[in-house]
Amino acid sequence: MPREQVNKLLHRFYEPLVLLYVLDPTQGDHVREEANRLPLDITSSKELRRRLVSALAYICDFEKGGDSFTAIFVTQGPLTYYIACNKGPRSKTLSFLRKILDHLEKVYDRDEKQRAKARGKILAECVKFSNKRLKAYWSFLRNVLVRCEEILKDGPGSKAFSALKQGLIESSPDLLTLCYHCYRLLRSPDLNSVRERASLANAQNSRRNPFAQVKHFVGRLAFHVKMVDVLIVAAVRLPSLFQDPQIEPVEGPLEQIQAPALRQKTRLGGIVNRMVRSGNPEMLAELNARLAVLDRTFQVEDLVRRTYEEKNIVPRVHAELILLEYYYQHRADLELFENDRYIGTSKPACYCCSLYMHEHPAAFYQSASHQRIYLNWLPPATLANGPTSASLLTSHSQRMLNRMTELIRTRTIEQIRTQSGRRPKNFDSTTGDTFSIHNVVPLQQGQEVPEPQARDYDSSDQDSTPEGDEDKFISDLATLLEPSSDEKQADSEEDSDSAGGVELLSLS
């Protein structure tokens, strides 16, 4: 596929994705793995192994923002932990993982007292490694504690909340003590009043509910303790996973395709026209009419252009897809541990990663997803013969991009037709306390994405809104972007806004 064709395919992918993001960046309820709700002592070996891999990924994700986001899968013959990060993985991450695996290898032969001591030592290592991330959590928590206290003032529950706040402040000088304190809070009635007020977020926006934020960040600070508990139980019940393990870092593709710039004459009508197959003028007219109504009220076209041109968005391949494609490329030489097609991640998958995993021929287990659209998402497309080749993408990469485009077009059309509005912008990762569970419904070829349901509140480690502030971003709608008077004519190789029914690109 020549470079011009690659750019056309990428335009056809990103145009409906950006439009869908503008209409609603959250595409469904938070999907969580049911095994994560089972007590460790009754979790099956397979489920415990999956929780172990996810726990290892979590403790390796040492800072907020996304660069250190981690994914891991395990193979046997020999036992190897394959690890990828959004950026890296860095040498400090590999050294840390090696140290933790070495500690866990020794746990099986120890008595209960020694295991408790090992638990404390491993937790101390994890807290030290994630120092920056945990400090950020405490900073957020400290701020929302003040907001909650101002809301309560001298009213009912104010004294109990002040005592809760004071206990957190007193434990905060030492991060390890703070994590333990938050872990105990999750299991005490002291947090009940916060939970009750946070439950109001179920019908509101949890990211704007300070009590939900308190609950969330207490859960985040406690989560390292919970993850170390998973590691210790796994070391006792699954000792074979720690016998002379190897660690294999996996880097992202050296030559990545890049997201294309906005075409100068892109308009809503042109985007819609390329999404609707030819021969369906009724659908085209309906979508244009509905978008026209939305555009008059919310300036959707202007927001699409602003979003597309956001300078702070740096597209990249996410870590779980780096591992997925690595396995697929080397599958003849890799034997997954007990043939379990599972990739553990430090955070739930985004909307695009979830779709990509589901459609991928490697058929890996569909893990947790927060169902939010990240505009920095880059397809893990493989270059066939280098950047100067006449055929830039492998047939597999072309098929995956075409299928992703088809699904996103379908979902965007459904979003326009229902005009269901934006769901509350909630957190991406779980609070560490409670969360909702929903099974992933498999999609058949050509089947529409199921209509998403209302979201429960959950947690977020990374904000995909430009500048990290949705309120500011939306308020900017008052200032419209006027098209440049000297816009250039669209290149003849580009898709036409009026040609009608642009098909997906063939693999020839």
The pLDDT value recorded for residue 207 is 57
Binned at pLDDT 50, 70 and 90, residue 489 comes out as very low
Binned at pLDDT 50, 70 and 90, residue 144 comes out as very high
Distance from C-alpha of 425 to C-alpha of 219, rounded to nearest angstrom = 19
φ, ψ for residue 168, nearest 5 deg: -65, -45
- Min mean pLDDT across 14-18, 217-221, 410-414, 488-492 is at 488-492
Q: Give the contacts of 334 (CB within 8 A, at least 6 positions apart).
A: 75, 327
Q: Which two tokens mark 370?
A: 């927060």
Average predicted confidence (pLDDT) for the chain:
80
In the predicted structure, residue 19 carries a pLDDT above the cut 70: yes
Residues paired with residue 383 on neighbouring β-strands, in sequence order: 393
- pTM score: 0.81
Binned at pLDDT 50, 70 and 90, residue 472 comes out as very low
* pLDDT tens digits, one per residue of 63-79: 988 899 999 999 999 99
Residue 9 exposed, middle or buried by CB count within 10 Å (0-12, 13-18, 19+)? buried
Q: Which two tokens mark 498?
A: 């009026």
Exposure class string for 150-185: b at 16+ Cβ within 10 A, else e: eebeeeeeeeebeebbeebeebbeebbebbbbbbeb
Binned at pLDDT 50, 70 and 90, residue 292 comes out as very high
- Min mean pLDDT across 169-173, 271-275, 352-356, 472-476 is at 472-476
CB atoms within 10 A of CB 401: 23
The pLDDT value recorded for residue 482 is 28
Q: What is the CA radius of gyration of the chain?
A: 24
Mean pLDDT of 275-280: 87
Mean pLDDT of 44-72: 95
Residue 470 one-letter amino acid: E
Contact (Cβ atoms closer than 8 angstroms) between residue 164 and residue 191:
yes
Distance from C-alpha of 367 to C-alpha of 241, rounded to nearest angstrom = 21
In the predicted structure, residue 450 carries a pLDDT above the cut 60: no
Q: Which two tokens mark 260?
A: 């294309």
SS3 of residue 68 by DSSP: coil
Q: Which residue has the higher pLDDT, 91 or 474?
A: 91
